[in-house]
Amino acid sequence: MAPGAAPPVLDGAVHSWDTSIGVDGPGTRFVVFLAGCPLRCRYCHSPDTWYGRSGRRRTVDEMVATIARYRRFVQVAGGGVTVSGGEPLLQPRFTGELLRRCHALGLHTALDTSGFLGDRADDALLDATDLVLLDVKAGRPETYRRVTGTGRLAPTLRFARRLADRGTPMWIRYVLVPGLTDAVDEVARVADVAAGLTGVARVEVLPFHRLGAHKYAELGLAFPLADTAPPDPELLARVRGQFVERGLTVT
């Protein structure tokens, strides 16, 4: 950049934003949903965030100005800002600067990611991240491919180890889908991973649901798990118990 020149405007594809309580990090959160994702998870409830073109171009300044209006509200409620998606690490520069600016406002920051693109998160981005919500989709590489339609498990595990080495707190998320991610050995592998990482504050076992099925219909897409029922209480208790047995806090 030439001396005296204005810095380039940094913008990203933002699908939407909303507020939530307790499901996207601690307390009341301002959640920014970015557009674009490299994975096609069979249980995805937001197919409308798959492509960058589904978002509106927003600058970091615009988003920070919007977030600043909620600053007092989320701080009093013990919350902060979560950058989600889509996959936020598909836009690492925008995500990193947004997290840094929010951190500078004194807001607790969280990154909600699959970890598949974890190598794109540089140290500056992670320095501005107080919590990572890490979606570990499977315990075996072959199941990961079945769940996501593409991609590999190894990058997520590598990213998890990097977070542990840095001392970055994590919430591990695991979506429980009958007939897909419910096998005893599958869950055991994920529990082994989580138990072997320092910094895992809790594991969230998330029951599969079909609440996003209408979005597939609106987009003219077939919902891959239209005939799959949510897990029953017995299955949910068994899977949660497998994580508890490894000494993990489970919600």
Confidence of residue 23 (pLDDT cuts 50, 70, 90): confident
209 assigned to some structural domain: yes
CATH of the domain at 29: 3.20.20.70
Looking at the 3D structure of the chain, how many domains does it have? 1
Asked if residue 7 belongs to a domain, the reply is no
Counting residues of the chain whose pLDDT is more than 90, the rounded percentage is: 92
Handedness of CA 129, 97, 101, 76 (dihedral sign): negative
The band of 1, judged by pLDDT with boundaries at 50, 70 and 90, is low
Q: In this structure, what are the phi and psi dihedrals at residue 31, rounded to the nearest 5 degrees? A: -110, 125
Is the previous residue joined to 151 through a cis bond, with omega within 30 degrees of 0? Answer: no
Task: Report the C-alpha gap between 130 and 42 in whole angstroms.
Answer: 29
In a domain, 9, yes or no: no
User: Tens of pLDDT along 161-220?
Assistant: 999 999 999 999 999 999 999 999 999 999 999 999 999 999 999 999 998 899 999 999
**Residue 4: what pLDDT?**
56
Has residue 5 been placed in a domain? Answer: no
- What mean pLDDT value characterizes the chain? 95
132 falls within a domain: yes
Evaluate whether residue 207 is within a structural domain.
yes
The string of pLDDT tens digits covering residues 210-228 is 988 999 999 999 999 999 9
- Specify the pTM: 0.94
Query: Parallel, antiparallel, or unpaired for β 11-21 and 28-34?
Result: antiparallel
Residue 8 domain-assigned (yes or no): no
Q: What is the pLDDT confidence band of residue 39, given thresholds at 50, 70 and 90?
A: very high
Range of the domain at 34: 17-245
Query: Does residue 2 sit within a domain?
Result: no
